[in-house]
């Protein structure tokens, strides 16, 4: 063991103190840490399979029978913002607390100045970036296979839908992840099925608090399908302008993340909870 060099005193305590309210730095650091941990071979293989899967389905469909542009759009919407984004976020967002407790990293991350908030928001950012990236690759591959007309417009539209799906659903899954950390995956699958896919399709007030209603409504508006929509289908979309739909998702994200952060801050994990 070496003697301590004089540098121990040169590192004044003040140097180690981040400026007050430097949340962004802490969140970015956690996000970087989590993304680094996601770059394992199994996770990369999972991402690759996820990216290729929609293109494979599209290939299988168009080989069977040619489909028109609208049908192509519906298929891409169902496969990527609705399915792939949800699956990716289940893998990356749900374990925000459980993984840390099981790996014994919980205490080391939350004992830092940003504490639990930076863990939650940093993991949220990493989950959105990872899932968003995989989904964008999937989008490019699927469009390459489908060869629709006016592909640039579709790229822009689906990039926005993928972004909103990721930020909205990651915030949604943050809630079961902090309330039931040990059963986060099961609880989040339940939330996805019950809230997003069931309540989201109910023609009632409850669907207003789902991301799926907003995404569907945006798809219908941006594709200019309102006039051609069968009357019974209008029950499943909202006719507010796109900006309102986007603001609604942002408000939902804010409420969900604030609630998740509040719950996480108050939760007590006795030493016996850790493996």
Partner 1 sequence: MDRIPVDSDGPVIQIENLIKEYKSSDGTIVRAVNNVSMSVAAGEIVGLLGANGAGKTTTLRIIATLLQPTSGRAQVCGHDSIADPVGVRQSLGYVSATTGVPDRLTARELLTSFGRLHGLEEDAIKDRLDWLITTLSLRNYIDRPAGRLSSGQRQRISLGRALVHNPPALVLDEPTNALDVVGSRDLLDTLDHLRESGHAILLSTHRLHEIEHRCDRFVIINTGHIVAVGTRDELVGDSGELENAFFHAINRGASS
Where helices occur in the chain by DSSP H, the ranges are 7-10, 23-38, 41-64, 69-77, 85-92, 98-103, 106-110, 115-146, 151-179, 184-191, 211-222, 242-266
Closest CB 102 distance from partner 1, rounded Å: 10
Q: Is 12 in the site for partner 1 (CB under 8 A)?
A: yes
Q: Is 42 in the site for partner 1 (CB under 8 A)?
A: no
The reply on whether position 7 binds partner 1 by CB under 8 A is: yes
Beta carbon of residue 123, minimum distance to partner 1 (angstroms, whole number): 13
Closest CA to 120 of 185, 47, 170: 170
Do 180 and 187 form a contact (C-beta atoms < 8 A)? yes
Under the binding rule (CB under 8 A), the answer on residue 205 touching partner 1 is: no
Of 6-14, 64-72, 209-217, 236-244, the window that binds partner 1 (rule: CB under 8 A) is: 6-14
* CA dist., res. 120 & res. 170, Å (int): 11
Rounded CA-CA distance 171/252 in Å is: 8
CB of 106 to partner 1, least distance (A): 8
Please give the residues from 107 up to 136 whose contact with partner 1 meets the rule CB under 8 A.
107-115, 118
**Which residues contact partner 1 (rule: CB under 8 A)?**
1-9, 11-13, 15-19, 22, 25-26, 28-30, 32-33, 36-37, 39-40, 103-115, 118, 268-271, 274
């Amino acid at each position: 063991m070496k003697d301590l060099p004089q540098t121990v005193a040169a590192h004044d305590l003040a140097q180690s103190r981040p400026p007050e309210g430097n949340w962004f730095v802490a969140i970015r650091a956690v996000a970087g840490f989590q993304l680094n941990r996601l770059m394992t071979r199994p996770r990369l293989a999972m991402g690759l399979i996820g990216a290729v899967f929609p293109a494979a389905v599209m290939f299988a469909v168009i080989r069977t029978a040619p489909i028109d542009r609208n049908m192509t759009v519906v298929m891409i919407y169902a496969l990527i913002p609705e399915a792939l984004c949800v699956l990716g976020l289940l893998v990356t967002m749900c374990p925000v607390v459980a993984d840390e407790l099981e790996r014994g990293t919980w205490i080391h991350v939350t004992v830092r100045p940003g504490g639990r908030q930076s863990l939650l928001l940093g993991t949220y950012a990493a989950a959105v970036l990872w899932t968003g990236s995989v989904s964008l690759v999937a989008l490019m591959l699927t469009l390459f296979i489908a060869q629709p007309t006016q592909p640039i417009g579709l790229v822009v539209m689906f990039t926005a839908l993928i972004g909103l799906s990721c930020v909205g659903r990651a915030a949604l899954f943050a809630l079961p992840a902090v309330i039931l950390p040990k059963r986060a995956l099961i609880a989040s699958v339940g939330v996805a099925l019950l809230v997003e896919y069931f309540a989201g399709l109910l023609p009632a007030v409850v669907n207003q608090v789902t991301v799926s209603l907003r995404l569907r409504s945006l798809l219908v508006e941006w594709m200019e399908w309102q006039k051609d929509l069968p009357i019974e289908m209008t029950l499943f979309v909202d006719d507010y302008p796109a900006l309102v739909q986007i603001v609604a998702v942002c408000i939902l994200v804010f409420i969900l993340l604030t609630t998740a952060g509040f719950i996480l801050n108050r939760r007590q994990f006795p030493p016996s909870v850790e493996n």
